[in-house]
């Protein structure tokens, strides 16, 4: 801001010098005009007209320079206002600096507390890491147990299926047994009839032959049924063997599951111990956290002061911004007047030399 003020002062001085130079040129023109009046053959009417034009142009030039001087003064006033605003801002900055110092002291106290918290957190992290590892191992054991249980379930399904087959075979055996009984009954009846016929016929036992033939058919049916019974018995034997294998597999799977469950129990016991240690570390963290909270309250008060000061600085900054905008507007006005002055000078030249 100081440099800006010096620059505006220098600008005003330069324009003042230029104004004096132009006025001096105007005086010289006037003197030349007087000389020309004495030595040059000009009529009075042309001379009066020329002087009026020159006077009019010079008066306009002076008016523009007066306007320029006012603009420069306005810029200086705005610069002074900016300097005043900056001084007010510096006052706020000083207050903020004092607040920051207080904050720094509190921050140093917090640093010690945070260091303690950090150590506790580091220790907690180590335990948590171990817990994570043990948990992963336990999870793998649980997964293995689940797989074993799935195998056990599959074996159980095999047992159920084998039992179902045994039940079906038993039903078939029952049906075949019923057939055999029926055939046996008919065979007995036919045999009885054959005996009766044979007794009647004596040697002429034609009917016996017919009955004997029927008996033969029934005998064949009985033979076929017996074969089916044999096949079913063989099948049932295989099914029973499969059931035995399945039961043995189930027994092995159950034993393995028990072993895995025991391993999981040990792992989760270790996890429980680690969690207990973690809880102790958390207690220390909580104690340190309470102390940090107390310090945080003090920090909050300091922060509020910083916020208040910042608000003041913001308002001052807005005021400075508005003043700067006005200064820019004034500078643009000066530039416009400068261009107009140049145009006026050109008009003077044209007037003088034409």
Count helices and strands (H / E) in the chain.
3, 0
In total, the chain counts a number of residues equal to 354
For residues 178 and 182, give the distance between their C-alpha atoms in angstroms, rounded to a whole number. 6
- In Å, the largest CA–CA distance within the chain is 202
pLDDT, position 41: 46
Of 347, 334, 266, 279, the closest CA to residue 78 belongs to 334
- Residue 277 per-residue DSSP state: H
For residues 230 and 2, give the distance between their C-alpha atoms in angstroms, rounded to a whole number. 123
Distances (CA, A) of 332 to 7, 62, 87, 321: 16, 20, 27, 16
Q: What's the structural domain count of the chain?
A: 1
**What token pair was written down for 214?**
């029927």
Contact assessment for residue 245 and residue 154, using Cβ atoms and an 8 Å cutoff: no
**What token pair was written down for 121?**
């957190």
For residues 352 and 301, give the distance between their C-alpha atoms in angstroms, rounded to a whole number. 76
Of 338, 322, 317, 331, the closest CA to residue 93 belongs to 317
pLDDT, position 221: 72
**What token pair was written down for 65?**
């320079």
Q: What is the pTM of this model?
A: 0.40
Domain that holds residue 77: 2-353
CA-CA-CA-CA torsion sign (264, 270, 273, 278):
negative
pLDDT, position 295: 72
What is the DSSP code string of 276-335?
Answer: HHHHHHHHHHHHHHHHHHHHHHHHHHHHHHHHHHHHHHHHHHHHHHHHHHHHHHHHHHHH
Residue for token pair 């399945």: 246
For residues 151 and 140, give the distance between their C-alpha atoms in angstroms, rounded to a whole number. 17
Show pLDDT as tens, one digit a residue, over the chain (354 residues): 445 455 555 555 555 555 555 555 555 555 545 544 444 444 556 656 666 666 666 666 656 666 665 665 666 566 556 656 655 665 665 666 566 556 656 656 666 666 676 666 667 666 666 766 776 676 677 677 767 767 766 776 777 677 667 767 766 776 776 777 677 667 767 766 776 776 677 666 666 666 666 776 776 677 677 667 767 767 776 776 677 677 667 767 766 766 776 677 677 677 767 777 776 776 776 677 677 667 766 776 776 676 677 667 667 666 766 666 666 566 666 656 666 665 666 666 566 555
């Amino acid at each position: 801001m100081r440099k800006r003020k010096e620059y505006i002062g220098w600008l005003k001085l330069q324009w003042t010098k230029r104004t004096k130079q132009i006025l001096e040129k105007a005086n010289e023109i006037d003197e030349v005009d007087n000389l020309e009046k004495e030595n040059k053959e000009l009529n009075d009417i042309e001379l009066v007209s020329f002087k009026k034009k020159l006077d009019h142009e010079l008066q306009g030039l002076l008016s523009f320079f007066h306007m320029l001087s006012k603009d420069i003064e306005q810029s200086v006033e705005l610069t002074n206002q900016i300097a005043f605003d900056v001084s007010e801002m510096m006052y706020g900055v000083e207050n903020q600096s004092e607040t920051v110092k207080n904050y720094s002291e509190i921050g140093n106290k917090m640093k010690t507390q945070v260091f303690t918290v950090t150590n506790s957190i580091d220790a907690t992290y180590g335990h948590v890491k171990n817990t994570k590892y043990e948990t992963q191992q336990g999870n793998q054991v649980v997964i293995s147990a689940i797989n074993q249980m799935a195998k056990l379930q599959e074996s159980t399904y095999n047992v159920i299926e084998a039992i179902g087959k045994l039940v079906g075979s038993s039903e078939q055996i029952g049906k075949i047994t019923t057939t055999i009984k029926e055939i046996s009954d008919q065979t007995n009846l036919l045999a009885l009839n054959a005996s009766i016929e044979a007794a009647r016929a004596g040697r002429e036992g034609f009917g016996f032959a017919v009955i004997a033939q029927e008996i033969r058919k029934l005998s064949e049916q009985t033979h076929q049924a017996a074969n089916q019974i044999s096949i079913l018995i063989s099948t049932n034997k295989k099914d029973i063997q499969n059931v035995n294998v399945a039961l043995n597999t189930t027994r092995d799977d159950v034993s393995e599951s028990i072993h895995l469950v025991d391993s999981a129990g040990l792992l989760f016991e270790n996890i429980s111990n680690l969690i207990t240690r973690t809880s102790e570390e958390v207690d220390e963290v909580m104690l340190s956290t309470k102390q940090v909270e107390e310090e945080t309250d003090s920090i909050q008060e300091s922060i509020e002061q910083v916020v208040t000061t910042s608000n003041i600085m913001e308002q001052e900054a807005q005021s400075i911004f508005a003043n700067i905008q006005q200064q820019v507007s004034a500078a643009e006005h000066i530039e416009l007047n400068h261009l107009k002055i140049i145009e006026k000078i050109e008009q003077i030249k044209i007037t003088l030399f034409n």
